[in-house]
Amino acid sequence: MSTIQSVPSTLPVIPLDSKVLLPSVVTKVIVSGDAASYVSKTLKVARKDRSRQAAYVAVVPVCKSAGDKTLKANLDGAYFNKDGEEEKTIKTNKFTIKSKLVSDKNSSKSGVNLFHFGCAARVIQVEKSDNAKETVTLFLQGVCRFRINELNTSDGVLTANVTHYPETNEMHATEDDKEFGDVLLEFRSLSREFISKMKDLKLPGALLAQLAKVVDKSPPSQLANLLASVIETTFDEKLEMLESTDTRARLQRVNEWMTRQLHVLKITQQIQSNVDGKLDKKRREFYLRQQLNAIKEELGEKGDDASASGGDDDELTELKRKLDAAKLSKEAQTVADREMKRLKKLHPSSAEWSVVRTYLDVMADLPWSETSEDVIDIHRAREQLEADHYGLDTAKKRILEYLSVVKVKGDLKAPIICFVGPPGVGKTSLGKSIASATGRDFHRISLGGVRDEADIRGHRRTYVGAMPGLIIHGMRKSGVNNPVFLLDEIDKIVKTSHYGDPAAAMLEVLDPEQNSTFTDHYLNIPFDLSKVLFIATANSIDTIPAPLLDRMEVISLPGYTFDEKLHIAKTYLLPKQIREHGLTENQVCIADEVLLKIIENYTRESGVRNLERTIASIVRFKCVEWADLHEADSADTYNETVQVDDLENILGMQYFEKEIIQNEAIPGVVTGLAYSGSGNGGILMIEATHMPGEGKLQLTGSLGDVIKESAQIALAWVKSHAHALRLTNSPIENIADKRDVHIHFPAGAVSKDGPSAGIALTTALVSLFSGRCVPNTTAMTGEITLRGRVLPVGGIKEKVLSAHRAGIKKVILPARNRKDVSSDIPDSIKKSIEFVYVKNISEVLEAALVLDERGEKLRTPMVITRIESHL
């Protein structure tokens, strides 16, 4: 035991958070990180005086609030540690507890509040770990109380000038101090009774025997410190014990605490006795089964079930630990506690036991409060989006807007974004880039072909093999409550099914006002999805139900132009395929004109998937060529360059021709522009002819009702304006009176519908009746009315891109679609195509119809001014 003379009056300070060290007690302090560095500095200061055999430190409690008994000290926020839980053991005549340094909840930038009394402690042992995170374990033995006179800081270490108060070692009271003798007698009597009651708590026998020896052999002052550490007391009561320098007063306080603790122990024993006397049938059965298992084990009849009980207990303990660590919501915690009690009453061999166990496992694995930190760096996000995707400026702009608002505000509700576009334009990969740019976990859910509502919401636990739905399963797999969810192919959800409507189940998921309380049928308790960033992808919005579409912010991703495809192929697709096939860029060289030939004649698509597959075929061909020459020892003759003439040998005959350029312009044939439901644009050939008949209109080519109505409107307009167009000699003459008109749309296997072919149909009929031709490099799109007005249509970018791919030089568009061309069409295409904007059909006819090849006047020349007068 250290004497007070060996303890210096100036000591380095080690603060303890909500813990009090008393003389003769040993405490174990575990620190790591910055706190470990501080402790190392403190020990160096404590060991400076080499004349002393031991190092001493000042252990001072940290109070939660300032008062007249506290001192302000600035610890620079470097002594935080949350490791270690309280652990009580007795070692010789010393009481050992684990402690921790001051935590962040009791500190601030202005410092911490140190109690004005502390305990001088001798450093018994120091242990340092070799792991990556520096950890220091200290064993400190309390020596004596002290009062802080002054606080100083030296070399980053807090030191205190103190006044010591020695401990008294008298075993008995003097004859003159009868009052102290009565207090001491009561103290020893209560101590023995308290230790005897502790036997009922089933503490280790060695510990109880050691306590009994301490009662008879230790001085009252030391015994009071020991019992004050054992008895359940508040932090303020321990502070009173620390600052009390009168032995009699300390004994009186310990007497009061022991009396209170004994009363609590008696009530606890009484309650336990009443509970044990009322065991229900299941618990009695459980205990009898345990006894039966023990008997069978002694008789040697126990098989593989010998350790079942212990294993089940271990599983339940681990499950309880996982549930506590999950930090469930209040409602979820109530359900988990109820199910846990139910699980303990069930036998492990019952079917219900596995159902409840699986349910609790799902609850424990869900990220109720686990959130990943957003790494919002706008410059890095912009660079990553540009590196991963070429073009797609509208989508990139919206993503950067969202990230900027999150960076400024910090708690923005996640939007529901839906990327709509043809296959292969980068919708799915764009979702991955968003997750990478924000540092969030990425999870993809494929909704294509989902036909059961339970796939979204999960099955109720009454069904055999019930499991959570796709949303809760994704949250469980992600491990955080703010991942990026990609709902792929949301337009492919099956809507007509006797299993329910999965699209309707998605309404709650994708509603920012409701998804904070999303309830899965399996869990049957609300789960917060408001922090999840949902990104949906679709090829067309036509098949998405209107209520579901209303909850999403639609961002269109149109197809790529030839120039964009060429850039993507050069910078990404070709180097990727070369790496994947084990070659180097010096072994395969494909020039721009070769790539452009592939794009125009082998892969006519909106995206780049077929382009990548075609490039992969060329790389494989070169790989085989290199391998053959290498085996034949003729590697020097290998030619890494792919020429245009080599494509037919490698890929076969070209799949697509510029049929528009090669066809001859004839009356009645017009090129329209179409937009398919998959997000692709295309050219739409319209052929019209007439024959003797009764004025009937026949339409072929797998047409829908809307496009049929457009043909009827076109014919009606031409009939009513035939005389103004000089197609008839009299205003009352019917141009189709004795002839039938047949309009055909080639590619009959492909369904066609929509109003955008109106002006093309009208132009085809006028061309047919007038004998004038429409140039085969001219295309048009727009809806017409009976009055001849031209109305705007959608899908302008896709239509113009398809026209550019087909070699069209002039495009006639409604005047109100001018803004779409200005905002969506790349400048390179604007330079190669002439755009004509029209308001009525007369402007269309003027821009589209020409003389015949010989330059002769036709029999029914058109007078535009007369048409305009009728309009």
pLDDT in tens, 293-322: 777 666 665 544 444 445 556 788 888 888
Specify whether the backbone of 243 is left (phi greater than 0), alpha (psi in -120 to 50) or beta. alpha
pLDDT of residue 411: 64
pLDDT of residue 623: 93
Percent of the chain with pLDDT over 70: 82
pLDDT in tens, 183-226: 888 888 888 888 777 766 666 666 677 677 777 777 888 888 88
Which stretches of 231-329 are DSSP H helices? 235-243, 247-276, 281-299, 308-325
* Cα–Cα separations (whole angstroms), residue 783 to 176, 283, 361: 118, 80, 60
pLDDT band at 81 (very low <50, low <70, confident <90, very high): very low
Q: What is the CATH number of domain 659-870?
A: 3.30.230.10
pLDDT band at 346 (very low <50, low <70, confident <90, very high): confident
Angle between helices 393-409 and 427-438 (to 10 degrees): 20
pLDDT band at 75 (very low <50, low <70, confident <90, very high): low
Tokens of 75: 């610890």
**Quick check: 811 pLDDT over 90?**
yes
**Quick check: 838 pLDDT over 80?**
yes
CATH class of the region 4-165? mainly beta
Tell me the three state secondary structure of residue 64.
coil
**Length, in residues, of the chain:** 871
pLDDT in tens, 642-670: 998 889 899 988 887 765 555 678 889 99
- Using a CB cutoff of 8 Å and minimum separation of 24, what contacts does 384-387 make? 384/433, 384/436, 384/437, 385/433, 385/437
Do 4-165 and 659-870 fold alike per CATH?
no
Query: So which residues are the catalytic ones?
Result: 756, 799
Window from 599-603, 700-704, 714-718 with minimum mean pLDDT: 599-603
Q: Count of H helices and E strands in the chain?
A: 30, 28
**Quick check: 824 pLDDT over 70?**
yes
Q: What rounded mean pLDDT belongs to the chain? A: 81
Binding residue positions for ATP: 421-428
pLDDT in tens, 494-514: 776 677 788 888 888 888 888
Binding residue positions: 421-428
Q: φ and ψ at 137, to 5 degrees?
A: -115, 125
Please name which of 610, 603, 830, 849 lies closest in space to residue 726, comparing C-alpha atoms. 849
End-to-end CA distance of the chain: 115
pLDDT of residue 504: 84
List the chain domain ranges.
4-165, 178-259, 282-296+306-365, 378-556, 584-651, 659-870
Beta bridge partners, 73, equal: 112
**Quick check: 815 pLDDT over 90?**
yes
Q: How far apart are CA 773 and CA 767, in angstroms?
A: 6
Window from 29-33, 57-61, 439-443 with minimum mean pLDDT: 29-33
- Give 565's contacts (C-beta < 8 A, 6+ positions apart): 599, 608, 611
**Quick check: 131 pLDDT over 80?**
no
Top mean-pLDDT range of 33-42, 107-116, 324-333 = 324-333
**Cβ distance 475 to 527 under 8 Å?**
yes
More confident residue, 530 or 46: 530
Top mean-pLDDT range of 39-43, 127-131, 141-145 = 141-145
pLDDT of residue 246: 87
Other beta carbons less than 10 A from residue 684's beta carbon: 27
**Cβ distance 843 to 868 under 8 Å?**
no
Top mean-pLDDT range of 16-25, 45-54, 268-277 = 16-25
pLDDT in tens, 531-552: 888 999 998 888 888 888 888 8
**Quick check: 33 pLDDT over 80?**
no
Please name which of 668, 692, 785 lies closest in space to residue 740, comparing C-alpha atoms. 692
pLDDT of residue 119: 93
Tell me the three state secondary structure of residue 164.
strand
Please name which of 475, 460, 454 lies closest in space to residue 524, comparing C-alpha atoms. 460
pLDDT band at 73 (very low <50, low <70, confident <90, very high): low
pLDDT of residue 511: 84
Tokens of 266: 């008696």
Q: How far apart are CA 436 and CA 500, in angstroms?
A: 35
Please name which of 213, 26, 214, 243 lies closest in space to residue 138, comparing C-alpha atoms. 26
Q: φ and ψ at 525, to 5 degrees?
A: -140, 150
pLDDT of residue 869: 47
**Cβ distance 135 to 31 under 8 Å?**
yes
**Cβ distance 29 to 99 under 8 Å?**
yes
pLDDT of residue 663: 66
Q: Is 321 exposed, middle or buried (0-12, 13-18, 19+ CB in 10 A)?
A: exposed
The architecture (CATH level 2) of 378-556 comes to 3-Layer(aba) Sandwich (3.40)
Other beta carbons less than 10 A from residue 5's beta carbon: 7
